[in-house]
Amino acid sequence: MNALEIAARIRAGEVSAVQVVDAALATIERRNPAINCFVEVTASRAREEAKAIDALRGRGRTLPPLAGVPYAVKDLFDVTGLATIAGSALHRNSPPAATDAALVERMREAGAVLVGTLNMDAYAYGFTTENTAFGPTRNPHDPSRVAGGSSGGSGAAVAAGMVPLSLGSDTNGSIRVPASLCGIFGLKPTYGRLPRSGSYPFVDSLDHLGPFATTTADLAICYNALQGPHAGDPACAQRPIDPVSRKADGRGLRVARLTGYFDRFASDEARAASVRAAECLGAVAEIELPEVERARAAAFIITASEGGERHLSTLKKHYADFEPLSRDRFLAGALTPAAWYLKAQRLRGWFRDRMAEVFSNYDVLIAPATPVSAMPIGTEWLDLGGEKLPLRASMGLFTQPISFIGLPVVVAPIVTPGLPIGVQLIAPPWREDLCFAAAANLELAGVARSRITEA
Protein backbone atom coordinates (compact mmCIF):
# COMPACT_ATOMS: atom_id res chain seq x y z
CA MET A 1 0.00 0.00 0.00
CA ASN A 2 1.22 3.48 -0.75
CA ALA A 3 1.15 6.35 1.75
CA LEU A 4 -2.09 7.93 0.55
CA GLU A 5 -3.91 4.57 0.63
CA ILE A 6 -2.68 3.92 4.18
CA ALA A 7 -3.73 7.37 5.36
CA ALA A 8 -7.16 6.97 3.69
CA ARG A 9 -7.78 3.57 5.29
CA ILE A 10 -6.82 4.87 8.72
CA ARG A 11 -9.02 7.93 8.26
CA ALA A 12 -11.93 5.67 7.24
CA GLY A 13 -11.38 3.46 10.30
CA GLU A 14 -10.71 0.35 8.21
CA VAL A 15 -7.44 -0.16 10.02
CA SER A 16 -5.76 1.47 13.01
CA ALA A 17 -2.43 3.27 12.91
CA VAL A 18 -1.10 0.80 15.48
CA GLN A 19 -2.04 -2.13 13.20
CA VAL A 20 -0.30 -0.44 10.28
CA VAL A 21 2.88 0.22 12.23
CA ASP A 22 2.95 -3.31 13.67
CA ALA A 23 2.68 -4.70 10.14
CA ALA A 24 5.51 -2.42 8.98
CA LEU A 25 7.72 -3.45 11.90
CA ALA A 26 7.05 -7.13 11.12
CA THR A 27 7.99 -6.60 7.46
CA ILE A 28 11.20 -4.84 8.49
CA GLU A 29 12.11 -7.67 10.85
CA ARG A 30 11.52 -10.24 8.13
CA ARG A 31 13.14 -8.46 5.20
CA ASN A 32 15.88 -6.29 6.64
CA PRO A 33 18.45 -9.06 7.27
CA ALA A 34 18.67 -9.76 3.52
CA ILE A 35 18.76 -6.08 2.47
CA ASN A 36 20.53 -4.38 5.42
CA CYS A 37 18.93 -0.99 5.04
CA PHE A 38 17.99 -0.24 8.69
CA VAL A 39 20.56 0.91 11.23
CA GLU A 40 18.06 1.37 14.09
CA VAL A 41 14.41 0.39 14.32
CA THR A 42 12.52 2.85 16.52
CA ALA A 43 9.69 0.47 17.45
CA SER A 44 8.61 2.06 20.72
CA ARG A 45 8.58 5.60 19.32
CA ALA A 46 6.66 4.30 16.29
CA ARG A 47 4.00 2.64 18.45
CA GLU A 48 3.62 5.80 20.52
CA GLU A 49 3.24 8.01 17.46
CA ALA A 50 0.72 5.53 16.03
CA LYS A 51 -1.25 5.45 19.29
CA ALA A 52 -1.42 9.24 19.25
CA ILE A 53 -2.94 9.11 15.76
CA ASP A 54 -5.51 6.52 16.82
CA ALA A 55 -6.34 8.67 19.86
CA LEU A 56 -6.84 11.73 17.65
CA ARG A 57 -9.24 9.78 15.47
CA GLY A 58 -11.00 8.43 18.54
CA ARG A 59 -11.69 12.00 19.64
CA GLY A 60 -13.19 12.73 16.23
CA ARG A 61 -10.42 15.13 15.18
CA THR A 62 -9.47 15.75 11.57
CA LEU A 63 -6.36 13.72 10.84
CA PRO A 64 -3.26 15.29 9.25
CA PRO A 65 -2.39 14.30 5.66
CA LEU A 66 0.10 11.50 6.45
CA ALA A 67 -1.66 10.23 9.58
CA GLY A 68 -0.33 6.80 10.49
CA VAL A 69 2.00 6.45 7.49
CA PRO A 70 5.25 4.69 8.45
CA TYR A 71 8.49 6.23 7.20
CA ALA A 72 12.21 6.08 7.95
CA VAL A 73 15.12 8.51 7.60
CA LYS A 74 18.71 8.34 6.46
CA ASP A 75 20.95 8.04 9.49
CA LEU A 76 22.08 11.66 9.28
CA PHE A 77 18.79 13.16 10.49
CA ASP A 78 18.67 13.86 14.21
CA VAL A 79 16.15 11.67 15.98
CA THR A 80 15.53 12.49 19.63
CA GLY A 81 17.27 9.97 21.86
CA LEU A 82 19.45 8.40 19.16
CA ALA A 83 23.06 9.14 18.23
CA THR A 84 23.24 10.59 14.72
CA ILE A 85 25.72 8.16 13.20
CA ALA A 86 26.05 9.44 9.61
CA GLY A 87 27.35 6.05 8.54
CA SER A 88 30.47 6.26 10.69
CA ALA A 89 31.39 3.81 13.42
CA LEU A 90 33.08 6.75 15.15
CA HIS A 91 29.64 8.16 16.04
CA ARG A 92 28.09 4.97 17.40
CA ASN A 93 28.60 6.20 20.95
CA SER A 94 28.04 9.90 20.34
CA PRO A 95 25.60 11.63 22.70
CA PRO A 96 21.99 11.14 21.59
CA ALA A 97 20.23 13.97 19.75
CA ALA A 98 18.22 16.20 22.08
CA THR A 99 15.63 17.11 19.44
CA ASP A 100 14.37 15.89 16.07
CA ALA A 101 15.70 17.34 12.82
CA ALA A 102 13.42 20.02 11.34
CA LEU A 103 12.09 17.67 8.66
CA VAL A 104 11.46 14.85 11.16
CA GLU A 105 9.44 17.34 13.21
CA ARG A 106 7.45 18.25 10.10
CA MET A 107 6.78 14.60 9.26
CA ARG A 108 5.49 14.12 12.79
CA GLU A 109 3.24 17.17 12.47
CA ALA A 110 1.93 15.65 9.23
CA GLY A 111 1.02 12.51 11.19
CA ALA A 112 3.73 10.20 9.83
CA VAL A 113 5.19 7.51 12.08
CA LEU A 114 8.97 7.11 12.31
CA VAL A 115 10.05 3.46 12.25
CA GLY A 116 13.83 3.85 12.06
CA THR A 117 17.09 5.14 10.64
CA LEU A 118 18.68 3.97 7.41
CA ASN A 119 22.14 2.99 6.17
CA MET A 120 24.30 5.26 4.00
CA ASP A 121 27.83 5.75 2.71
CA ALA A 122 29.99 7.05 5.56
CA TYR A 123 29.45 10.80 5.89
CA ALA A 124 27.44 10.63 2.62
CA TYR A 125 30.64 10.47 0.53
CA GLY A 126 29.78 7.77 -2.00
CA PHE A 127 27.17 6.57 -4.49
CA THR A 128 26.90 2.89 -3.51
CA THR A 129 26.18 2.48 0.26
CA GLU A 130 29.04 0.04 0.57
CA ASN A 131 29.61 0.88 4.21
CA THR A 132 32.53 -0.95 5.80
CA ALA A 133 31.30 -0.62 9.41
CA PHE A 134 27.60 -1.28 8.82
CA GLY A 135 27.81 -3.53 5.76
CA PRO A 136 26.53 -2.82 2.25
CA THR A 137 22.86 -2.12 1.68
CA ARG A 138 21.66 -4.59 -0.94
CA ASN A 139 19.43 -3.84 -3.88
CA PRO A 140 15.99 -5.34 -3.22
CA HIS A 141 15.72 -6.29 -6.92
CA ASP A 142 19.00 -8.25 -6.84
CA PRO A 143 20.72 -8.53 -3.46
CA SER A 144 24.11 -9.16 -5.08
CA ARG A 145 24.02 -5.58 -6.36
CA VAL A 146 24.27 -2.16 -4.76
CA ALA A 147 21.22 -0.07 -3.89
CA GLY A 148 23.00 3.14 -4.91
CA GLY A 149 23.99 5.86 -2.50
CA SER A 150 24.64 7.65 -0.46
CA SER A 151 20.98 7.39 0.64
CA GLY A 152 21.00 3.69 -0.25
CA GLY A 153 19.07 2.61 2.82
CA SER A 154 16.36 5.17 2.03
CA GLY A 155 15.99 3.82 -1.52
CA ALA A 156 16.09 0.14 -0.55
CA ALA A 157 13.62 0.43 2.36
CA VAL A 158 10.98 1.83 0.00
CA ALA A 159 11.77 -0.52 -2.89
CA ALA A 160 11.59 -3.52 -0.53
CA GLY A 161 8.11 -2.50 0.62
CA MET A 162 9.20 -1.87 4.22
CA VAL A 163 8.00 1.75 4.26
CA PRO A 164 6.08 3.78 1.65
CA LEU A 165 8.11 6.95 2.34
CA SER A 166 11.65 7.80 3.39
CA LEU A 167 13.90 10.84 3.64
CA GLY A 168 17.45 11.18 2.36
CA SER A 169 20.05 13.76 1.44
CA ASP A 170 21.53 14.67 -1.93
CA THR A 171 24.78 16.62 -2.35
CA ASN A 172 25.83 15.32 -5.76
CA GLY A 173 23.14 12.74 -6.49
CA SER A 174 22.61 10.83 -3.25
CA ILE A 175 18.80 10.80 -3.58
CA ARG A 176 18.67 10.51 -7.36
CA VAL A 177 21.16 7.64 -7.70
CA PRO A 178 19.44 5.23 -5.26
CA ALA A 179 16.00 6.21 -6.62
CA SER A 180 17.25 5.19 -10.07
CA LEU A 181 18.89 1.92 -9.00
CA CYS A 182 16.00 0.89 -6.71
CA GLY A 183 13.24 1.79 -9.20
CA ILE A 184 11.30 4.37 -7.16
CA PHE A 185 10.50 8.09 -7.23
CA GLY A 186 12.78 10.60 -5.52
CA LEU A 187 12.86 14.38 -5.20
CA LYS A 188 15.83 16.66 -4.84
CA PRO A 189 14.20 20.06 -4.39
CA THR A 190 15.74 23.44 -5.23
CA TYR A 191 18.81 24.27 -3.11
CA GLY A 192 17.57 26.25 -0.13
CA ARG A 193 13.98 24.97 -0.33
CA LEU A 194 13.97 22.56 2.63
CA PRO A 195 15.75 23.34 5.90
CA ARG A 196 18.67 21.10 6.78
CA SER A 197 18.58 21.97 10.48
CA GLY A 198 19.33 18.94 12.60
CA SER A 199 20.95 16.91 9.83
CA TYR A 200 24.62 15.94 9.67
CA PRO A 201 26.24 18.12 6.97
CA PHE A 202 28.58 17.03 4.19
CA VAL A 203 29.12 19.99 1.80
CA ASP A 204 27.30 23.15 2.91
CA SER A 205 27.35 24.67 -0.59
CA LEU A 206 25.62 21.64 -2.12
CA ASP A 207 23.66 19.74 0.56
CA HIS A 208 19.95 19.17 -0.08
CA LEU A 209 17.35 17.01 1.71
CA GLY A 210 14.37 15.32 0.11
CA PRO A 211 11.88 12.43 0.04
CA PHE A 212 11.54 9.04 -1.69
CA ALA A 213 8.14 7.49 -2.52
CA THR A 214 6.44 4.89 -4.71
CA THR A 215 4.12 7.28 -6.56
CA THR A 216 4.19 10.89 -7.71
CA ALA A 217 1.16 11.63 -5.53
CA ASP A 218 2.89 10.29 -2.41
CA LEU A 219 6.07 12.20 -3.25
CA ALA A 220 4.02 15.39 -3.65
CA ILE A 221 2.10 15.09 -0.40
CA CYS A 222 5.30 14.33 1.50
CA TYR A 223 7.17 17.22 -0.12
CA ASN A 224 4.30 19.60 0.68
CA ALA A 225 4.49 18.52 4.33
CA LEU A 226 8.24 19.19 4.44
CA GLN A 227 8.15 22.74 3.07
CA GLY A 228 8.29 26.05 4.88
CA PRO A 229 10.85 28.51 6.27
CA HIS A 230 13.10 27.58 9.18
CA ALA A 231 15.52 29.93 10.88
CA GLY A 232 17.97 27.17 11.81
CA ASP A 233 19.50 26.75 8.33
CA PRO A 234 21.39 29.77 6.94
CA ALA A 235 21.06 28.39 3.39
CA CYS A 236 17.29 27.91 3.67
CA ALA A 237 15.66 30.48 1.40
CA GLN A 238 12.83 31.03 3.93
CA ARG A 239 10.15 30.89 1.27
CA PRO A 240 6.50 30.23 2.06
CA ILE A 241 5.03 26.82 1.29
CA ASP A 242 4.50 26.41 -2.44
CA PRO A 243 2.35 23.27 -2.69
CA VAL A 244 2.66 21.02 -5.74
CA SER A 245 -0.25 19.19 -7.27
CA ARG A 246 -0.62 15.46 -6.86
CA LYS A 247 -2.08 14.92 -10.30
CA ALA A 248 -1.00 14.91 -13.93
CA ASP A 249 -2.47 17.98 -15.54
CA GLY A 250 -1.68 17.39 -19.19
CA ARG A 251 -0.27 20.90 -19.52
CA GLY A 252 1.85 21.43 -22.59
CA LEU A 253 5.31 21.28 -21.11
CA ARG A 254 8.21 22.42 -23.27
CA VAL A 255 10.56 19.49 -22.86
CA ALA A 256 14.09 18.89 -24.14
CA ARG A 257 16.26 15.80 -23.87
CA LEU A 258 19.88 16.36 -22.89
CA THR A 259 22.44 14.83 -25.25
CA GLY A 260 26.20 15.24 -25.77
CA TYR A 261 27.87 14.53 -22.41
CA PHE A 262 24.76 12.69 -21.20
CA ASP A 263 24.60 10.37 -24.23
CA ARG A 264 28.37 9.87 -24.31
CA PHE A 265 28.56 8.40 -20.80
CA ALA A 266 25.16 6.63 -20.85
CA SER A 267 24.79 2.88 -21.20
CA ASP A 268 22.27 1.69 -23.78
CA GLU A 269 19.61 1.18 -21.09
CA ALA A 270 20.14 4.65 -19.60
CA ARG A 271 19.93 6.33 -23.00
CA ALA A 272 16.84 4.27 -23.89
CA ALA A 273 15.14 5.39 -20.66
CA SER A 274 15.74 9.05 -21.38
CA VAL A 275 14.55 8.65 -25.01
CA ARG A 276 11.39 6.85 -23.84
CA ALA A 277 10.59 9.59 -21.32
CA ALA A 278 11.29 12.30 -23.90
CA GLU A 279 8.99 10.67 -26.46
CA CYS A 280 6.21 10.26 -23.92
CA LEU A 281 6.42 13.91 -22.87
CA GLY A 282 6.52 15.12 -26.48
CA ALA A 283 10.02 16.57 -26.24
CA VAL A 284 10.53 19.26 -28.85
CA ALA A 285 14.33 19.27 -28.87
CA GLU A 286 17.56 17.49 -28.08
CA ILE A 287 20.10 19.90 -26.64
CA GLU A 288 23.60 19.97 -25.17
CA LEU A 289 24.34 21.94 -22.02
CA PRO A 290 27.22 24.45 -22.15
CA GLU A 291 30.41 23.22 -20.44
CA VAL A 292 28.54 20.58 -18.46
CA GLU A 293 31.64 18.46 -17.91
CA ARG A 294 33.38 21.44 -16.32
CA ALA A 295 30.32 22.01 -14.14
CA ARG A 296 30.59 18.44 -12.91
CA ALA A 297 34.31 18.92 -12.28
CA ALA A 298 33.65 22.08 -10.26
CA ALA A 299 31.06 20.30 -8.11
CA PHE A 300 33.64 17.55 -7.55
CA ILE A 301 36.28 20.04 -6.36
CA ILE A 302 33.87 21.93 -4.07
CA THR A 303 32.81 18.60 -2.58
CA ALA A 304 36.37 17.42 -2.04
CA SER A 305 37.41 20.69 -0.45
CA GLU A 306 34.44 21.34 1.85
CA GLY A 307 34.01 17.68 2.79
CA GLY A 308 37.73 17.29 3.42
CA GLU A 309 37.95 20.32 5.67
CA ARG A 310 34.89 19.23 7.66
CA HIS A 311 36.48 15.92 8.62
CA LEU A 312 40.12 16.95 8.84
CA SER A 313 40.30 17.15 12.62
CA THR A 314 38.57 13.78 13.00
CA LEU A 315 40.93 12.25 10.46
CA LYS A 316 43.94 13.56 12.36
CA LYS A 317 42.75 11.80 15.52
CA HIS A 318 40.89 8.73 14.27
CA TYR A 319 42.25 7.79 10.84
CA ALA A 320 42.33 4.07 11.69
CA ASP A 321 38.61 4.01 12.58
CA PHE A 322 37.49 6.19 9.66
CA GLU A 323 35.72 4.60 6.65
CA PRO A 324 38.60 3.14 4.57
CA LEU A 325 36.71 3.67 1.29
CA SER A 326 36.74 7.46 1.71
CA ARG A 327 39.37 8.51 4.26
CA ASP A 328 42.15 9.11 1.73
CA ARG A 329 39.75 10.97 -0.58
CA PHE A 330 38.70 13.19 2.35
CA LEU A 331 42.36 13.89 3.19
CA ALA A 332 43.20 14.70 -0.43
CA GLY A 333 40.22 17.05 -0.51
CA ALA A 334 41.43 18.89 2.58
CA LEU A 335 44.63 19.71 0.66
CA THR A 336 42.78 21.42 -2.23
CA PRO A 337 44.35 24.82 -3.05
CA ALA A 338 41.98 27.68 -2.23
CA ALA A 339 42.27 29.06 -5.78
CA TRP A 340 40.92 25.78 -7.20
CA TYR A 341 37.97 25.91 -4.83
CA LEU A 342 37.15 29.53 -5.56
CA LYS A 343 37.45 29.10 -9.30
CA ALA A 344 34.97 26.25 -8.97
CA GLN A 345 32.62 28.53 -6.99
CA ARG A 346 32.90 31.22 -9.67
CA LEU A 347 32.21 28.65 -12.38
CA ARG A 348 29.04 27.87 -10.47
CA GLY A 349 27.84 31.44 -10.88
CA TRP A 350 28.68 31.30 -14.58
CA PHE A 351 26.95 27.95 -15.16
CA ARG A 352 23.85 29.11 -13.29
CA ASP A 353 23.52 32.04 -15.69
CA ARG A 354 23.97 29.78 -18.75
CA MET A 355 21.27 27.41 -17.44
CA ALA A 356 18.90 30.33 -16.90
CA GLU A 357 19.28 31.00 -20.63
CA VAL A 358 18.49 27.35 -21.43
CA PHE A 359 15.36 27.53 -19.31
CA SER A 360 14.07 30.54 -21.23
CA ASN A 361 13.19 27.99 -23.94
CA TYR A 362 12.24 24.88 -21.93
CA ASP A 363 10.27 23.92 -18.82
CA VAL A 364 11.75 20.50 -18.21
CA LEU A 365 15.02 18.85 -19.21
CA ILE A 366 15.40 15.07 -19.32
CA ALA A 367 18.56 13.11 -18.60
CA PRO A 368 19.27 9.65 -17.22
CA ALA A 369 19.71 9.65 -13.43
CA THR A 370 22.56 7.15 -13.58
CA PRO A 371 24.85 6.02 -16.42
CA VAL A 372 24.05 2.37 -15.67
CA SER A 373 21.64 0.31 -13.59
CA ALA A 374 22.78 -1.34 -10.34
CA MET A 375 26.24 -2.95 -10.50
CA PRO A 376 27.43 -5.90 -8.38
CA ILE A 377 28.65 -4.97 -4.88
CA GLY A 378 32.42 -4.48 -4.93
CA THR A 379 32.64 -3.31 -8.55
CA GLU A 380 35.57 -0.87 -8.91
CA TRP A 381 35.64 0.14 -12.56
CA LEU A 382 33.20 0.89 -15.32
CA ASP A 383 33.69 1.28 -19.07
CA LEU A 384 31.70 4.28 -20.25
CA GLY A 385 32.05 6.33 -23.39
CA GLY A 386 35.24 4.49 -24.27
CA GLU A 387 36.85 5.44 -20.93
CA LYS A 388 37.69 3.29 -17.92
CA LEU A 389 36.15 5.19 -14.99
CA PRO A 390 36.05 4.59 -11.21
CA LEU A 391 32.52 3.32 -10.61
CA ARG A 392 31.96 4.77 -7.15
CA ALA A 393 32.53 8.34 -8.37
CA SER A 394 31.02 7.88 -11.82
CA MET A 395 27.52 6.94 -10.69
CA GLY A 396 27.07 10.69 -10.13
CA LEU A 397 28.20 11.83 -13.59
CA PHE A 398 24.68 12.89 -14.59
CA THR A 399 23.39 14.16 -11.26
CA GLN A 400 26.40 16.19 -10.15
CA PRO A 401 26.26 19.04 -12.71
CA ILE A 402 22.54 19.56 -11.95
CA SER A 403 22.74 19.81 -8.15
CA PHE A 404 25.85 21.98 -8.66
CA ILE A 405 23.47 24.89 -9.28
CA GLY A 406 20.66 23.61 -7.09
CA LEU A 407 18.04 22.86 -9.76
CA PRO A 408 14.98 20.87 -8.64
CA VAL A 409 14.76 17.29 -9.96
CA VAL A 410 12.25 14.48 -9.69
CA VAL A 411 13.63 11.06 -10.58
CA ALA A 412 11.02 8.87 -12.27
CA PRO A 413 11.58 5.08 -12.54
CA ILE A 414 11.17 4.09 -16.19
CA VAL A 415 9.46 0.77 -16.91
CA THR A 416 12.08 -1.61 -18.36
CA PRO A 417 12.42 -5.37 -18.68
CA GLY A 418 15.86 -5.30 -17.02
CA LEU A 419 17.06 -3.85 -13.74
CA PRO A 420 15.47 -0.53 -12.71
CA ILE A 421 16.76 2.77 -14.04
CA GLY A 422 15.38 6.29 -13.64
CA VAL A 423 15.41 9.58 -15.47
CA GLN A 424 15.91 13.06 -14.06
CA LEU A 425 13.13 15.56 -14.75
CA ILE A 426 14.93 18.86 -14.26
CA ALA A 427 13.20 22.24 -13.90
CA PRO A 428 14.24 25.86 -13.28
CA PRO A 429 14.87 26.98 -9.68
CA TRP A 430 11.75 27.00 -7.46
CA ARG A 431 9.68 25.19 -10.14
CA GLU A 432 9.31 21.78 -8.49
CA ASP A 433 5.73 21.90 -9.82
CA LEU A 434 7.08 21.37 -13.36
CA CYS A 435 9.12 18.32 -12.26
CA PHE A 436 5.97 16.89 -10.67
CA ALA A 437 3.80 17.60 -13.72
CA ALA A 438 6.29 15.76 -15.95
CA ALA A 439 6.58 12.84 -13.52
CA ALA A 440 2.81 12.52 -13.15
CA ASN A 441 2.39 12.55 -16.93
CA LEU A 442 4.95 9.73 -17.30
CA GLU A 443 3.23 7.77 -14.56
CA LEU A 444 -0.24 8.26 -16.07
CA ALA A 445 1.06 7.07 -19.45
CA GLY A 446 2.50 3.92 -17.84
CA VAL A 447 6.04 4.87 -18.84
CA ALA A 448 7.16 5.43 -15.24
CA ARG A 449 6.21 3.09 -12.42
CA SER A 450 7.85 2.13 -9.15
CA ARG A 451 9.02 -1.42 -8.75
CA ILE A 452 8.45 -2.76 -5.25
CA THR A 453 9.63 -6.29 -4.41
CA GLU A 454 7.04 -8.67 -2.98
CA ALA A 455 7.36 -9.25 0.74
Partner 1 sequence: MKPEDIENFVAAAAQAQGLTLDPGQQQRVAVAFARNADIARLVLEFDLPESVEPAPVFTP
* Catalytic residue positions, numbered: 74, 150, 174
Contact between 340 and partner 1 by CB under 8 A: the answer reads yes
Query: What burial letters (b/e) apply to 163-193, b meaning 16+ CB within 10 Å?
Result: bbbbbbbbbbbbbbbbbbbbbbbbbbbbbbb
Residue 401's Cβ-side half-sphere holds a number of Cα atoms within 13 Å equal to: 25
- For the chain, the residue count is 455
Positions 417 through 446 that interact with partner 1 (CB under 8 A): 429-430
Neighbouring residues of 221: CB distance < 8 A, sequence distance ≥ 6: 3, 4, 65, 66, 246
Cβ proximity to partner 1, 319 vs 381, nearer residue:
319
Is there a contact between 73 and 114 (Cβ–Cβ < 8 Å)? yes
The span from the CA of 154 to the CA of 241, in Å, is 24
Amino acid at residue number 107 = M
Over its C-alpha atoms, the chain yields an Rg (Å, rounded) of: 20
Contact between 447 and partner 1 by CB under 8 A: the answer reads no
Q: Which of 331, 358, 415, 445 binds partner 1 (CB under 8 A)?
A: 331
Nearest to 436 by CA among 414, 410, 413: 410
Cβ proximity to partner 1, 267 vs 336, nearer residue:
336
DSSP assignment letter at 320:
G
Amino acid at residue number 289 = L
Cβ proximity to partner 1, 89 vs 312, nearer residue:
312
The span from the CA of 35 to the CA of 377, in Å, is 12
Question: Could you tell me how many residues of this chain bind partner 1 (CB under 8 A)?
Answer: 44
Positions 30 through 69 that interact with partner 1 (CB under 8 A): none
Q: Which of 22, 242, 286, 293 binds partner 1 (CB under 8 A)?
A: 293
User: Torsion angle of alpha carbons 421, 422, 423, 429, nearest 10°?
Assistant: -150
Q: Which of 83, 237, 415, 444 binds partner 1 (CB under 8 A)?
A: 237
Contact between 349 and partner 1 by CB under 8 A: the answer reads yes
Contact between 172 and partner 1 by CB under 8 A: the answer reads no
Q: Which of 166, 180, 199, 336 binds partner 1 (CB under 8 A)?
A: 336
Binding pattern to partner 1, positions 363-402, x when CB under 8 A? ---------------------------x------------
Contact between 352 and partner 1 by CB under 8 A: the answer reads yes
Query: What burial letters (b/e) apply to 360-398, b meaning 16+ CB within 10 Å?
Result: eebbbbbbbbbbbbbbebeeeebebeeeebebbebbbbb
Cβ proximity to partner 1, 84 vs 171, nearer residue:
171
Q: Which of 285, 335, 383, 385 binds partner 1 (CB under 8 A)?
A: 335
Contact between 266 and partner 1 by CB under 8 A: the answer reads no
Q: Which of 86, 104, 277, 334 binds partner 1 (CB under 8 A)?
A: 334
Nearest to 344 by CA among 379, 376, 396, 306: 306
Q: Which of 406, 413, 420, 422 binds partner 1 (CB under 8 A)?
A: 406
Contact between 333 and partner 1 by CB under 8 A: the answer reads yes
Which helix (H) or strand (E) element contains residue 118?
strand 113-118
Binding pattern to partner 1, positions 173-192, x when CB under 8 A? -----------------xxx
Q: Which residues contribute to the site for partner 1 (CB under 8 A)?
A: 190-192, 205, 234-235, 237, 291, 293-294, 297-298, 300-301, 304, 312, 315-316, 319, 328-329, 331-336, 340, 342-350, 352, 390, 405-407, 429-430
